[in-house]
């Protein structure tokens, strides 16, 4: 247990640093509330145009959109730690390798802390506003206490999957001249496959069944759909099992790849 105290120190330091950006958080709240409202009205138009083809209730869709915006800072893959990429590109990684710590565990702790800190500044005010909006644009209460408990559990599992996936982008940056291409490619892919652009239930059934098996669907798709009651019974159990599976697989593969990179890394310059 003592060996993990150093990583908790990295977590605490990064978390406290993340709480300093209050003005940026305020700007993010305004932007995300306006974006969420625009999306709610767009889906309302879709529902009125063809109610029979609508896979979720409008109330569930609205809640999904608002909760996605509320926790966007924690789950957005484009919200990567720029300092880590910078240390890889400018050779500062050499100092990290001299420390008696695992760079994978250190980066994982720092990335998780930064995401939680940014989300903490935004989630409470946005949640209050979303609950105060007039019907049918307000966030609904969870369908049951069990769904709320599982929502919280899967929220942390999804955060773990997101951070573990981001670790791959950091590690793959060792093999590139610039990480910008990796970030653009992964961001575009993950946003669509994780349900950040449209909720997965709105995809064609054949495509949705395949996408739900991928690790991206285990990010915020699962907790949000549990909250609104779109996942129940065996589907909910299967989704939680997939979350746990992908978290373990990504952690294991990430650690193995990181160790391989550490043994072969070459730092250029003086």
Question: What tokens were used for 108?
Answer: 């994982």
What is the C-alpha radius of gyration for the chain, rounded to an integer number of angstroms? 20
Q: What is the pLDDT along the chain (270 residues), one digit of tens a residue?
A: 666 778 888 888 888 887 887 777 788 888 888 898 999 988 888 888 888 778 888 899 999 999 999 998 888 887 777 778 888 777 777 777 777 888 888 889 989 998 998 888 888 888 888 888 888 888 988 888 999 999 999 999 999 999 999 898 888 888 877 777 777 777 778 888 888 888 899 888 889 999 999 999 999 899 999 999 888 889 999 999 999 999 999 999 999 988 888 777 766 554
Q: Is residue 178 part of a domain?
A: yes
Q: How many domains does the chain have?
A: 1
Q: Is residue 50 part of a domain?
A: yes
Cα distances (Å, whole numbers) of residue 182 to 49, 56, 78, 171, 264: 39, 34, 10, 11, 21
Q: Is residue 96 part of a domain?
A: yes
Predicted pLDDT at 4: 72
Predicted pLDDT at 87: 80
191: domain range? 2-264
The pTM score is 0.89
Distance, in Å, from the CA atom of 189 to the CA atom of 126, rounded to the nearest integer, reads: 27
Instruction: Tell me the Ramachandran region of residue 229: left when phi exceeds 0, alpha when psi lies from -120 to 50, beta otherwise.
Output: left
Question: What tokens were used for 242?
Answer: 């997939």
Q: Is residue 270 part of a domain?
A: no
Q: Is residue 139 part of a domain?
A: yes
Q: Is residue 269 part of a domain?
A: no
Predicted pLDDT at 148: 93
Phi, psi of 28 (to 5 degrees): -65, -40
Q: Is residue 39 part of a domain?
A: yes
Predicted pLDDT at 270: 45
Q: Is residue 150 part of a domain?
A: yes
């Amino acid at each position: 247990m003592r060996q993990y105290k150093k990583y908790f120190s990295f977590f605490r330091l990064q978390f406290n640093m993340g709480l300093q950006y209050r003005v940026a958080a305020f700007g993010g709240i305004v932007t995300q509330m306006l974006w969420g409202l625009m999306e709610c009205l767009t889906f309302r138009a879709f529902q009125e145009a063809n109610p029979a083809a609508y896979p979720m209730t409008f109330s569930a869709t609205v809640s999904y959109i608002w909760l996605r915006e509320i926790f966007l800072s924690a789950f957005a893959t484009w919200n990567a730690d720029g300092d880590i990429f910078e240390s890889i590109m400018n050779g500062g990684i050499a100092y990290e390798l001299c420390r008696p710590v695992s760079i994978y565990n250190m980066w994982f702790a720092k990335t998780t802390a930064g995401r939680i800190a940014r989300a903490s500044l935004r989630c409470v005010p946005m949640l209050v506003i979303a609950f105060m909006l007039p019907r049918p644009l307000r966030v609904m209460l969870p369908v049951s206490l069990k769904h709320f408990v599982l929502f919280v559990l899967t929220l942390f599992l999804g955060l773990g999957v997101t951070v573990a996936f981001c670790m791959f982008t950091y590690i793959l940056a060792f093999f590139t001249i610039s990480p910008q291409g990796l970030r653009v490619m992964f961001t575009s892919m993950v946003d669509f496959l994780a349900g950040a652009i449209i909720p997965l239930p709105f995809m064609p059934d054949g495509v949705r069944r395949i996408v739900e098996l991928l690790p991206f669907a285990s990010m915020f798709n699962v907790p949000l759909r549990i909250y609104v009651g779109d996942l129940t019974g065996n589907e909910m159990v299967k989704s939680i099992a997939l979350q746990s599976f992908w978290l373990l697989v990504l952690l294991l593969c990430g650690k193995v790849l990181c160790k391989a990179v550490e043994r072969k890394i070459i730092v250029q310059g003086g």
